[in-house]
Amino acid sequence: MSAPLLIIAAGGTGGHMFPAQALAEVMLARGWRVRLSTDARGARYTNGFPSEVEIVEVSSATFARGGLLAKALVPLRVCMGVLGATLQMMRDRPDVVVGFGGYPSIPALGAATLLRLPRMIHEQNGVLGRVNEVFVKRVDRVACGTWPTALPEGIEGVHVGNPVRAAVLEKAGSGYIVPGDYPMELLVMGGSQGARILSDVVPPAIAGLPMEMLRNIRVSHQARREDHDRVAGYYEEQGIDADVQPFFDDVPRRMSQAQLVISRAGASSVADISVIGRPSILVPLAAAIRDEQTANARGLVEAGAAIMVPESMADVENVTEQIKSVLDNPDGALQMALAALSVGKPEAAEDLATMVEELAQKGSST
């Protein structure tokens, strides 16, 4: 008898792919086969997935990018993806299908719906994304990463938290070295796609710190490729020790060494910050239609673990003052780190895996 099969469907950003990877790691450890269904964009984030995970690229598309012709072809591409996924599931029937959101998750979830297979979604943010919004009434279970998550009337969600990868769990609760007159690390993250506002505002905000503080600071700054040379050049001109890259594949290590994290409030970033336990300054994405990043940040802010700076207030002077307020107050920074840990859910991946197994068991008995 072959091992049970889980199909994980996830879109092409780190916000969807990192929790998907975390679940894959746990399910493999529990003896399951795991197949990831994503598109070419999502496949760029699969380097960290265990080698045992089968990666399947599906046909999908979004209305958010491309010209008129590309948008006109979206329904056809999605239908082709659903058809392909359906045929594959008929050949190798999965025990459960879990969707993490993003347009590339449509084919697998659509096929699972047509075939009436056990299926569930995991919503990372405090507000349902577009794809999860479509499927929330068509799945057997809804797992929520941020609590509370706004759900349609009559739909019950289970708060499991946002699964974090094994590399993050290895740094969970790492001892926090409070700011002081010695080398300090700042980690600046704009999400998996980078963030221009953080590249525009944070470098001069750091440069505006008092010299006695600035001389101790080393910066790890994740910037978009198109901003890289400008950001790296600015830090160099100011004599600030900085490592600027488009993407850090060792975020857990850098975060565990940081005295302060300055970040977007993406669900995965918030989860990593809370599990490792670090003070943070969060700048939610103002362009988000559902304002989900503000909802994501709320738990850390209300716990006293984070300072939220809306984009409208994210000017150089204000960000300088917020950074200074953390690095100038060792006791307060330590309390922020402990508060972050108090809202972390390092067990999220295990709890989500248990939901998957319960759903599989229920499906096999019907």
pLDDT in tens, the chain (366 residues): 689 999 999 987 888 999 999 999 999 999 999 999 998 888 888 988 999 999 998 876 554 545 565 565 667 788 888 999 999 999 999 999 999 999 899 999 999 999 999 999 999 999 999 999 999 999 999 999 998 899 999 999 999 999 999 999 999 999 999 999 999 999 999 865 557 899 999 999 999 999 999 999 999 999 999 999 999 999 999 999 999 999 898 999 999 999 999 999 999 999 999 999 999 999 998 877 788 999 999 999 999 999 999 999 999 999 999 999 999 999 999 999 999 999 999 999 999 999 999 999 997 766
Rounded to whole angstroms, the Cα distance separating 254 from 31 reads 32
Q: How many helices (H) and strands (E) does the chain have?
A: 16, 13
CB 311 within 8 A of CB 283: yes
| CA-based torsion, 55, 58, 64, 67: positive or negative | positive
**Torsion region of 333: left, alpha or beta (phi above 0 gives left; psi -120 to 50 gives alpha):** alpha
Rounded to whole angstroms, the Cα distance separating 322 from 314 reads 10
Residues 260 and 294 in one domain: yes
CB 253 within 8 A of CB 52: no
Cis peptide, bond prior to residue 252, ω within 30 of zero:
no
Residues 67 and 132 in one domain: yes
Residues 319 and 178 in one domain: yes
Residues 88 and 101 in one domain: yes
Q: Alpha carbon 293 to chain centroid distance?
A: 11
Residues 215 and 261 in one domain: yes
Residues 44 and 178 in one domain: no
- Mention every residue, 6+ apart, whose C-beta is less than 8 A from residue 365: none
Residues 224 and 80 in one domain: no
The C-alpha torsion from 268 through 274 and 278 to 284, rounded to 10°, is: 50
Residues 124 and 181 in one domain: no
Count CB-CB contacts under 10 A for residue 57: 16
Residues 138 and 177 in one domain: no
Q: What is the CATH number of the domain that holds 78?
A: 3.40.50.2000
Residues 248 and 261 in one domain: yes
Q: What's the structural domain count of the chain? A: 2
Residues 107 and 247 in one domain: no
Which class for 32: exposed (0-12), middle (13-18), buried (19 or more C-beta within 10 A)?
Answer: buried
pTM (predicted TM-score): 0.92
Residues 129 and 152 in one domain: yes
Instruction: Considering only CA atoms, give the Rg of the chain.
Output: 21
* Host domain of residue 177: 169-343
Q: Alpha carbon 249 to chain centroid distance?
A: 14
Across 214-305, the runs of DSSP E, i.e. the strands, are 217-222, 241-245, 260-263, 280-282
